[in-house]
Amino acid sequence: MKKALVAGATGLVGRELVRILLNQEEYAKVTVLVRRRMNLEHPKLEQLVVDYDRLEGLAGELVEGASLFCTLGTTMKQAGSKELFELVDYEYPMTLGRLAKRYGAEQMLIVTAMGAKRGSLFYYNRVKGKVEEELGKLGLPKLCIFRPSLLLGDRQEKRAGEQAAMKAADKLPFLFSGPLERYKPIRAEQVAAAMAAAANNNIEGTRIYESRDIAAMA
């Protein structure tokens, strides 16, 4: 029986991922690292309230043998500064990666973004690319990187661009065919389903799943 450790469980993808993991027979326990308790109860669920700035002190037994899922992420607008953005999107995932290596996690699975590249012209994608590259250097037994396109789902904040993309994908699907297929918006539950599926395969090493790969797995 597997055990899961989820960082970012209250986010768009994280919420869906926790729901899926709790309903999978493979997992005997799902531990979520949260700043505040979620309004969710389940016999297999353990909610651990943590200070993300002190993740280094996380107990080793929580990580040992676990499937470590990282769905942490913010935006420049939400973060308010480059320093705070990198804290959430780079520093916290790297701390989790080092813990995974130190205590022998079975695998680590992380959501980054389409276009992630350390040398990108766009700051957002540079940070995502940097965390991918640095996690890859840790030598984890299994690292799965998910690069979704525009994420759709039930957000607390409404985004005009997201709403427009959703309507375009529904009413004008030909816009995202052929070479533009990779830009087709994808729903958060599809990303979560793909992460859960990848965690249950026996492929080792580093694998990168682009948005169309994710859609095919979900």
Would you please indicate which residues are annotated as catalytic (active-site) residues? 124, 128
161 vs 154: CA distance, rounded Å:
14
Query: Are 199 and 144 in contact, with CB atoms under 8 Å apart?
Result: yes
Run of H or E including 97: helix 92-103
Two structure tokens written together for 207: 């694998």
Say which residues have a Cβ less than 8 Å from residue 90's Cβ, sequence separation at least 6.
Answer: 127, 130, 131
Residue 129 identity: G
**Distance from C-alpha of 106 to C-alpha of 198, rounded to nearest angstrom:** 13
Chain position carrying tokens 């599926």: 197
Phi, psi of 4 (to 5 degrees): -115, 145
Q: Which two tokens stand for residue 169?
A: 């994908």
